Amino acid sequence: MIELLYGPFAEFDFMRRALVGVIAIALGGGPIGVFLMLRRMSLTGDAMAHAILPGAAVGYLMAGLSLPAMTIGGLFAGVVVAVAAGLISRFTALKEDASLAAFYLLSLALGVTLVSLRGSNVDLLHVLFGTVLALDDSTLLLIAGISTVTVLALAVLYRPLVLECVDPTFLRSVSRTGTPTHLMFLGLVVLNLVGGFHALGTLLAVGMMMLPAAASRFWSNDITMMMLLSVLIGIVSGIGGLLLSYHAELPAGPAIILTAGAVYAASLVLGREGGLLWLAWPRRHLEA
């Protein structure tokens, strides 16, 4: 049993690299996913994940599968879409979710078209679903750097982010940090999506943000504990997905997200904070 769990990582270098990559993604993406969930922006994360696709595709057209080109292109496209969606919602009658939905559809179609102009089906699958088993040193350094920046930034922004989740009106009444905090948070979302894009692709990158965060909510209602649990669930899902991929000969990226989905389903049923089993358990009269 131990050999089944430890053997693939001990024997193969690409498995160890993938392990480091998913741990780094979980460290940065888990806490970001918690705040996206608490701010009711879960689908915003999905829209932003697709928004980086055209920029990454342009980088691919210019330099092939180049890490710097695709990273810079994805960052630029993500920031442009975030700012544009905010401006449209501020100066027109269209709400931010509707504008993000429009950008999401356009970005996905444009990105796939751009990649198809030059690349093969293999390149398209690489962009859409990532290559977590083919991470090189430079990509690992990028993902680890993004996770480090995210953790440090969240340590600085923690109080205003929590206040904005709990009582944004109070935050606006006592401080002017609401708007800068929101913009910096969106920047962190884009950064983590770009990091996840290189490992899991644009279609799956947001999964390592939202599924562990959603699962953690069924185990705690404390924000700090939810952040820690989301990181732990992300790491466990990454390890479990890599092992499932290795032993069952499945694609690694989808296997990781399916494992995270299984943890979410188990939490939905068994979680102490609103899980189905606990809700169905008979309580004493007038017990909260």
Q: Sketch out the chain's domains with CATH numbers.
A: 2-280 (1.10.3470.10)
DSSP label at residue 275:
-
pTM of the model: 0.86
Tell me the one-letter amino acid at 40.
R
Contact call for residues 256 and 208 (beta carbons, < 8 A): yes
pLDDT at residue number 288: 52
Contact call for residues 202 and 49 (beta carbons, < 8 A): yes
Taking each helix axis from N to C terminus, what angle separates 96-118 and 67-91, rounded to the nearest 10 degrees?
150
Secondary structure element (H or E) that encloses residue 245, with its range: helix 223-248
Between the two ends of the chain, the Cα-to-Cα distance in Å is 43
Exposure on the CB side of residue 81, measured as CA atoms within 13 A: 32
* Residues 176-196 as b or e (16 or more Cβ within 10 Å = b): ebbeebbebbbbbbbbbbbbb
Which residue's entry shows tokens 């689908």? Answer: 43
**Encoding tokens for residue 126?**
């690489």
Where does residue 165 rank: exposed (0-12), middle (13-18), buried (19+ CB within 10 A)?
middle
The rounded Cα 271 to chain-centroid distance in angstroms is 22
pLDDT in tens, the chain (288 residues): 677 778 788 888 999 999 999 999 999 999 999 998 888 877 777 778 878 888 888 887 787 777 788 888 888 888 888 777 767 766 777 776 677 778 778 888 888 888 777 766 666 677 777 788 888 888 899 999 999 999 999 999 898 888 877 776 767 677 777 778 878 888 898 889 888 888 888 778 888 999 999 999 999 989 999 999 999 999 999 999 999 999 998 888 899 999 999 999 999 999 888 888 887 776 665 555
pLDDT at residue number 283: 63
**Encoding tokens for residue 39?**
């701010």
